[in-house]
Structure 1
Amino acid sequence: MRILQPVIWAKGAFLTPQHLQTQDRFVESVLQFRLEALNFRPWGFSTLEIDHEALASGRFALHSASGLMPDGLPFEIPDVDEAPPAKALAEYFGPDQKELDVYLAIPSYRPAGVNVSSAERGLDTRYVSIVKTMRDENSGLSEKPVQMAKKNFQLLAEGDPRRGRTAIRVGRVIKSGDQYELDPRFAPPLLRYAASPYLVSIVRRLIEILSAKSAMLSGMRRQKNQSLAEFTVADIANFWLLYTINQHFPSLRHLLESKHGRPEELYAVLSSLASTLTTFSLTVQPKDLPEYDHDELGRCFGDLDEKLRTLLETVVPSNFISLPLRPTRPSIFAAPIFEDKYLERTKMYLAIKAEMNEAELIQKAPALIKICSATHVEHLIRQALPGVPLTHTPSPPSSIPIKLDHQYFSLSQSGLAWEAIGRARNLAAYIPGDFPEPHAEIIVLLPESN
């Protein structure tokens, strides 16, 4: 029961413990009222560490924990509050039972009832009376005994009665044979999502996926000038996918780095990303995304993570493949051809950049660069034979992502050198020293039906 009426401190009032108790309850009630008005589900763990050594011996114990109980009671174990006694687990597992929920609990506040007892009496009260010696904070000299209320925390298993108690689920134990371990996908109610290693791992993995996806889609953009990318009508799906990823990436990275985000803040970012990504999916719709569940954060975020990774695996079809030419020997650059379809009804282009004059690059490339299979290119060099003929293409097809300072040359897909490429299923280019610091790739333009 809340008390939202302040005590009237009037001259001549006879001061009793009830006055101070009522004033304390008023302050607590106002704080809890404001907290609930400003925050959604303002209770859970800020930090949590379970004792794994105790768990290995069949007991559940807290190494440290801090946060707010559902009724607003703050706790900080073990720095301020004593850790509850460890809970033996064996008696709670039936023959076929595989998992067990454990709760951190404390007797609820009893209006007009007994809330404090001495340790000797052993009553089941919210607080246990203890005496601490406190020093005068002004002089730092005088010490006096002060009676204080120690929180009477307990650990309860799911079979224990919780009536008359405020409880918060703290862990889920899985039994395998005689071994006990924590459910790695369980997350208790949290004030900070970083208190759960499982949720942190979800965020870290998604950031890695988003970063890789953004880099891949960015590489498919056409460059208009040094600082501006250009998209064509054919690129519109890639543009919106890249926009969606880049829009959500900073918020997600901030939540990971700050470690202070509330779980519903994390859910808002992830669900917004997932909902936007459903635009590109034929199987997942916004209504299919899981709702936020403060009591089952592990299941909620686990389902959302699976949906997100499925949506991020959606590939917007493109009709080109980039094969980077990597150096294998001095002046020799090669690329494997993994699929037969790269050689069937396709068009190939050499994209090359070098530290030289653009006109000189356009003039020298067809005459000096030799393209053939990796096994035959050295034979062409020794015998001064030509490779696959190259033709400069000043305006490559619009579906190819044009990169600034690169020149494009179409490959003639006929002749002995081309036949050698088809047999070897690889491609190599001899780029002599006339081209300083070359960077080259082969772009395979697939037929529209692919």
Structure 2
Amino acid sequence: MSAMNKVIWSEGMFLRPQHFQQQDRYWERFIEGRLASFTEHSWGIHSLSIDAEPLTLGKLSLTEIKAVFPDGTPYLAPDIEMPPPILEIPDNTQDLTIFLCVPLKRPGSQDSIRSEEDLPQARYQTYNYDIRNSTSQSSEPARIQIGKLRVCLKTGNDDLSGYASIPVARVIERMPDKPVKLDRDFIPPVVRCSASLNLNSYLQEVAGLLKQRGDALGNRLADSGRAGSAEIADYMLLQVINRFEPQIRQFIDEDHLHPYNLYTSLIQLAGELATFTASEKRAPQLSPYRHDDLRSTYGDLFGALRQSLSTVLEQTATPLALVERKYGIHVAPITDPSMMVSSSFVLAVKADVQTELLRSRFPTQAKIAPVETIRELITTQMPGVKIRALPVAPRQIPYHAGFIYFELEKSGAVWQSFQRSGGFAVHLGANFPGLAMELWAIRN
């Protein structure tokens, strides 16, 4: 037998208060059990307002609160229930969590009291209430007794074993004759993300980082029009960002987003970003979701997202634009002198001649040297930087049908002079009809 079983009503039965009390307990248990099947984390703060003035006097006061306790008890103050009594924070308090508490239901125990001294663990305080009959035009109200939840504030140092409790604040310190200093980074258990300023701030930051990284990648790819393997990685990263950015923007506008639903989406984002930004290319080991400790839950997660979205992704291959000048000389400026040490260089060539002929003749007819000395080498018929044909296009740069790829050999006196040069110069000693050339710097 249970104090939660259904009452069996029958004709002619003698009604007692216990019948209605049992019926109330049955329906409360029925509703709680039915709702619990929809979500595991259905308790927490819906909205909360802390009065700032009592903090200067060493006290904590909640002026407005809407919440659901872990035992399923809804609480709305001051609209329906009484706000909890103001809590005095002792002097020299440090690192103390404050809980909103309601006495637990105890089968066989008295639920309501008339005065505080009668039974401290009773759930309800009895009040007289005059109410009219809602189905009659009679103007005479009738007095009934109603019960308001006996909610209170307690600290983590108190015995909470007889209460359903929700952590609502964390005191960093309260020194004598000083105001209470609350932890602004504390995140209480909430049933909607919009109830926490910290979660909203984190979400806005992630949305901003996604937009910034997406814009940078989009501009880079739209500018280049390339399709090498490095650019494919950029496209894939942009695809991840374009998939999650609209979802995050929707989350920001959504008033009833549960923190668990947000967590499941963001850990997917963190895992996908790790493919591109983590050195081991694996998803980070993040804290599991803990509804009663959202600060730890989201602290690690947002740290991982912030790191991934702030990582500078360097281009592995940079095109150096070759511009044709007089006398068949093509020049490309060196914008970053460090690339001469940290990069290898590939010249992609295409012409309206047979592929094998281009592969064999081009190295003998091309003279590559610094722009400052190219004319001298042409006049004296001295060789420039040696080039050798590659069997395939390097994976970092795009492959185009009909192009032959030549790597510049970083050796010899001519190459050493590039350390002080302002650019590359390419001169051809023969005519190649339909000639097209691309010069690439590939970071090692």
The TM-score normalised by the length of structure 1 is 0.69
Instruction: Quote the sequence identity (%).
Output: 31
**What does residue 241 of structure 1 align with?**
237
Write out aligned runs for 1:179-328 (5 A).
179-222=179-222, 231-280=227-276, 281-283=278-280, 285-286=282-283, 288-319=285-316
Root-mean-square deviation (CA, aligned residues, Å) is 3.3
1:249/1:307 CA distance change after superposition, 3 Å: same
Q: Aligned AA for 1:447?
A: A
SS of the residue corresponding to residue 129 of structure 1 reads strand
Deviations 1:311-348 (A, max 9, x none): 112333314679xxxxxxxxxxxxxx99654899899x
Using the TM superposition, give the Cα deviation of residue 445 of structure 1 relative to its aligned residue in structure 2, in angstroms.
7.9
2:127 corresponds, among 130, 135, 142, to: 130
**What does residue 148 of structure 2 align with?**
150
- Check whether the contact 1:186–1:299 (CA below 8 A) recurs between aligned residues: no
Using the TM superposition, give the Cα deviation of residue 210 of structure 1 relative to its aligned residue in structure 2, in angstroms.
0.5
2:442 corresponds, among 437, 442, 448, to: 448
1:283/1:99 CA distance change after superposition, 3 Å: farther
- Check whether the contact 2:270–2:284 (CA below 8 A) recurs between aligned residues: no
Deviations 1:118-151 (A, max 9, x none): 0264421111100111122234533111210110
Alpha-carbon distance in structure 1 between the residues aligned to 2:17 and 2:335:
83
Write out aligned runs for 1:58-207 (5 A).
58-91=58-91, 93=93, 98-119=94-115, 121-124=117-120, 125-139=122-136, 141-175=139-173, 177=175, 178-207=178-207
Gaps of 5+ in 1: 323-336, 348-396, 402-420, 423-443
Rg larger for: 2
More moved, 118-127 vs 185-194: 118-127
Using the TM superposition, give the Cα deviation of residue 56 of structure 1 relative to its aligned residue in structure 2, in angstroms.
2.4
- Deviating beyond 6 angstroms after TM superposition, the runs of 4 or more aligned structure 1 residues are 342-347, 397-401
1:77/1:315 CA distance change after superposition, 3 Å: same
Alpha-carbon distance in structure 2 between the residues aligned to 1:230 and 1:65:
56
Using the TM superposition, give the Cα deviation of residue 87 of structure 1 relative to its aligned residue in structure 2, in angstroms.
0.8
Using the TM superposition, give the Cα deviation of residue 101 of structure 1 relative to its aligned residue in structure 2, in angstroms.
0.4
Alpha-carbon distance in structure 2 between the residues aligned to 1:168 and 1:69:
7
SS of the residue corresponding to residue 311 of structure 2 reads coil
1:69/1:284 CA distance change after superposition, 3 Å: farther
Alpha-carbon distance in structure 2 between the residues aligned to 1:166 and 1:55:
25
SS of the residue corresponding to residue 19 of structure 1 reads helix
Using the TM superposition, give the Cα deviation of residue 292 of structure 1 relative to its aligned residue in structure 2, in angstroms.
0.6
Alpha-carbon distance in structure 1 between the residues aligned to 2:42 and 2:35:
7
Using the TM superposition, give the Cα deviation of residue 33 of structure 1 relative to its aligned residue in structure 2, in angstroms.
0.6
Alpha-carbon distance in structure 2 between the residues aligned to 1:120 and 1:313:
57
Alpha-carbon distance in structure 2 between the residues aligned to 1:284 and 1:166:
43
1:88/1:11 CA distance change after superposition, 3 Å: same
Write out aligned runs for 1:325-340 (5 A).
340=337
**What does residue 408 of structure 1 align with?**
none
Gaps of 5+ in 2: 320-333, 346-393, 399-420, 423-437
Deviations 1:206-230 (A, max 9, x none): 1011011111111122489xxxx87
- Check whether the contact 2:61–2:85 (CA below 8 A) recurs between aligned residues: yes
Alpha-carbon distance in structure 1 between the residues aligned to 2:340 and 2:309:
29
Q: Aligned AA for 2:153?
A: L
- Check whether the contact 2:167–2:189 (CA below 8 A) recurs between aligned residues: yes
Deviations 1:137-177 (A, max 9, x none): 23453311121011001100111111211111111011175
More moved, 150-159 vs 249-258: 249-258
1:120/1:293 CA distance change after superposition, 3 Å: closer
Q: Aligned AA for 1:38?
A: F
1:6/1:220 CA distance change after superposition, 3 Å: same
SS of the residue corresponding to residue 270 of structure 1 reads helix
1:339/1:3 CA distance change after superposition, 3 Å: farther
Deviations 1:281-320 (A, max 9, x none): 1157435122111111012111110011111123333146
More moved, 139-148 vs 193-202: 139-148
The TM-score normalised by the length of structure 2 is 0.70
- Check whether the contact 2:65–2:76 (CA below 8 A) recurs between aligned residues: yes
Alpha-carbon distance in structure 2 between the residues aligned to 1:36 and 1:191:
14
1:103/1:15 CA distance change after superposition, 3 Å: same
**What does residue 47 of structure 1 align with?**
47
1:239/1:23 CA distance change after superposition, 3 Å: same
